[in-house]
Amino acid sequence: MENLEKLNQDGAPEEVSVAPTEMPELESDAVPTMETMEDPVRPGDPTFDEIWNDDFFKSIGMTPEEEPASEKSSEEAPEEEEQQPQEEQPQKESWQKGVLMYLHDLAYLLAIIVVVFLMLFRVVVVSGSSMKNTLYNGDYLLLLGNLFYREPEAGDVIVASKDSFKDGAPIVKRVIATEGQWVYIDFEEGIVYVGDDPHSMQALDEPYTTGPTTMEEGVKFPLKVKEGCVFVLGDNRGDSKDSRSPEIGLIDEREIMGKVILLFYPGKDNSGSRDYERIGAVS
| Mean pLDDT in consecutive groups of 10 residues from the start of the chain, 283 residues | 45 48 48 47 57 57 51 48 57 78 89 85 93 95 90 96 91 97 96 95 96 95 96 96 96 95 93 92 93
Choose, from 6, 92, 127, 173, the residue flagged as catalytic.
173
Structural domains of the chain in order of their starting residue, each with its CATH number: 126-281 (2.10.109.10)
Q: State yes or no: is 173 an active-site residue.
A: yes
Closest CA to 221 of 252, 254, 189, 253: 189
Verify whether residue 130 is a known catalytic residue.
yes
DSSP readout, the chain?
--EEEEE-TTS-EEEEE-PPPPPPPPPGGGS--TTTSPP-PPTTPPPHHHHSSHHHHHHTT--TT---HHHHHHHHHHHHHHHHHHHHHHHHHHHHHHHHHHHHHHHHHHHHHHHHHHHHEEEEE--SSTTTTTS-TT-EEEEEETTT-----TT-EEEEE-TTSGGG-EEEEEEEE-TT-EEEEETTTTEEEEESSTTS-EE---TTSSS------S--SSEEPPTTEEEEE-SSGGG--STTSTTT-SEEGGGEEEEEEEEEE--B-TTSSB-GGG-EE--
What is the DSSP annotation of 144-194?
EETTT-----TT-EEEEE-TTSGGG-EEEEEEEE-TT-EEEEETTTTEEEE
The whole model's pTM is what? 0.64
Instruction: State residue 133 phi and psi, 5-degree precision.
Output: -95, 20
**pLDDT computed for residue 72 by the predictor:** 47
Question: What is d(CA 125, CA 280) in angstroms, rounded to the nearest whole number?
Answer: 15
